[in-house]
Structure 1
């Protein structure tokens, strides 16, 4: 790193942005926090993600030592000094990053990656949110699992459908030959159960058969439709609260698919609130927000819609918490186990994802969909 580049990094943020070499300017496009520092921790450059997560401007960040933003900076100080003096090229550690108290409050656990730059003694520090890293790994597993589920469901449904038609047809023919009414009751059971299984197969195949009808979608129209349907089915004992960010723009998508996805989640929540509905204190909240610089399914998006569907029910049982999006897995007696699977499929068709956090008294499903 030359003295002239060091001077650029020390310049006013607007001037520095114009003069930065391409390889440093590109750091603003990363979702992770990146800073260039002196061996003593003096911050010379911080990327856009660093500014956003700290809740401070680049100018404010550059006025202080980067060590001032950590709860216990001693280990990081030693590592930065060692990397700057070329004792080793790179190192990793876990630490807690302070955040602006007026914006965030609680410290942020991060994975720190400290690397020596090629020229001079400057050090590049990359901070990866541990929660974000965990979420990305979880998203990748969910995406792979969804693809496997899709193939399994499609193949299984076709394998069931063909013999099912034969069973139903044979039962109908047998019924025509029977004279005893008591015996025809048995054939009626066969026909009825075959029809029920056929309906189940059709539901399994529905997301893959139905064309993706793309148009302009207003997420609040989707939420209002779901709200009206939920209140029509549960008119007493349940309050559905709205907390909308009305500045969220329309986006391109399949309105009916999104209504079905949100309805499946909200309906599951309402059914889980049965005891609280009887007590009259059941609460379901629909909350919309915009998130910036969000990574979804391995891609970084500048803006994303975040829809929270929150309830004050008993929570998801631990035994199925990691499998709730698998087909035919249900925490409710008599449930088909398809509602969340279909919701996940519909959201993924919009390049989005669904996350879930649950504990007794609070369950939150979070739908993220990229915005233009």
Structure 2
């Protein structure tokens, strides 16, 4: 097959192109396909396409059937697993050339688009929920001042009386509710954007976490020293990250994990989209623990207020962390299975493109 004259054209396409013979042996792949499959075109020539990916359904048979029948087909949201164990979601189209015995596969990766769509929906839902919670907290907080004032006046009238004990309970419980509503309202000061070294923040968090962590829980640091300073509010970022680290330590401690481990890992990600903004560079911070994991029925809702899987939890820590990271135009994502729970925080570095 003569394709030399079209190499430059095909290599400039964003669509992954793979040309195979009747036995699904690769005859040509363009640059986008090399990137998609994480392979080199020189090493794949003549090798079977099935050596580089697998799918749970009958994709190879569908391709061969299309070639035999001379009809093309398109499949949406197919799940591929590559030879390096990486999974991806793709749309692909198969176009056979029965006369020459070749078949062309065009693949469009969807993971980034699906994640962007999911993040946009989640951010919108989170914003709506936060507004509702703040409104509710204000409505609760306003009458608490009147209740506390009335209880104080009553306490003065009952000074020395046995009933004065009950007014003190009213005052203490009112104060507790006010502290709770203050946490629900979140920080009321704007983000003070200053250059910050993320690893200085993490070192402070590690020092604080180790004070309360049992001796059998290990905190591991896996830093990428090449990450430049980011613009942010040091106090707010410390609070956001410390909430997540403390949750990991408490999960390990409460479940008596014998060799408990919390891993703090930082990496740089390039061309990453958060909401509708495309960031050239972001800092990716992961907090990973080997605890029992988050119950599947809670995993989708853990960043909403009052949702918690711990008996002693208030359900506000993660909601506050997400709010603080969102204030920095970032995002937190979570994945969890028994033995590995990972919170990933994405914080922009440098300029953004809409």
What TM-score do you get using the length of structure 2 for normalisation? 0.81
Checking the alignment, whether the CA contact within 8 Å between 2:243 and 2:318 is kept in structure 1 is yes
Checking the alignment, whether the CA contact within 8 Å between 2:16 and 2:36 is kept in structure 1 is no
The alpha carbon displacement at 1:37 in A equals 5.1
- Residues in 2 aligned to 1:335 and 1:165: alpha-carbon distance in whole angstroms: 26
The alpha carbon displacement at 1:126 in A equals 3.0
- Higher strand proportion (structure 1 or 2): 2
What does residue range 50-69 of structure 1 map to in structure 2 within 5 Å?
A: 50-56=33-39, 60=42, 67=49, 69=52
- Residues in 2 aligned to 1:300 and 1:124: alpha-carbon distance in whole angstroms: 29
Structure 2: tracts of 5 or more residues without a match? 96-101
- Residues in 2 aligned to 1:80 and 1:214: alpha-carbon distance in whole angstroms: 59
- Residues in 1 aligned to 2:177 and 2:66: alpha-carbon distance in whole angstroms: 63
- Residues in 2 aligned to 1:96 and 1:198: alpha-carbon distance in whole angstroms: 49
Deviations 1:208-262 (A, max 9, x none): x121110112221121111000001225222111111111222222222211111
Q: Which residue of 2 aligns with 1:351?
A: 329
Deviations 1:26-81 (A, max 9, x none): x3xxxxxx22455857546333xx54443345x54895689464435342455589
Work out whether 1:288 is the aligned partner of 2:266. Answer: yes
Q: CA RMSD in A?
A: 3.3
- Residues in 1 aligned to 2:149 and 2:39: alpha-carbon distance in whole angstroms: 70
- Residues in 1 aligned to 2:259 and 2:29: alpha-carbon distance in whole angstroms: 53
Q: Which residue of 1 aligns with 2:98?
A: none
Q: Which residue of 1 aligns with 2:99?
A: none
- Residues in 1 aligned to 2:285 and 2:223: alpha-carbon distance in whole angstroms: 9
What does residue range 1-372 of structure 1 map to in structure 2 within 5 Å?
A: 9-11=6-8, 24=13, 27=14, 34-36=15-17, 42-43=27-28, 45-47=30-32, 50-56=33-39, 60=42, 67=49, 69-71=52-54, 73-76=60-63, 91-93=74-76, 95=78, 97=80, 99=82, 105-106=84-85, 108-114=87-93, 125-129=106-110, 135-207=115-187, 209-234=188-213, 236-275=215-254, 281-372=259-350
| Count of matched residue pairs | 334
- Residues in 1 aligned to 2:144 and 2:287: alpha-carbon distance in whole angstroms: 38
Secondary structure of the residue that 2:298 maps to in structure 1?
helix
Structure 1: tracts of 5 or more residues without a match? 28-33
Secondary structure of the residue that 2:192 maps to in structure 1?
coil
Checking the alignment, whether the CA contact within 8 Å between 1:35 and 1:45 is kept in structure 2 is yes
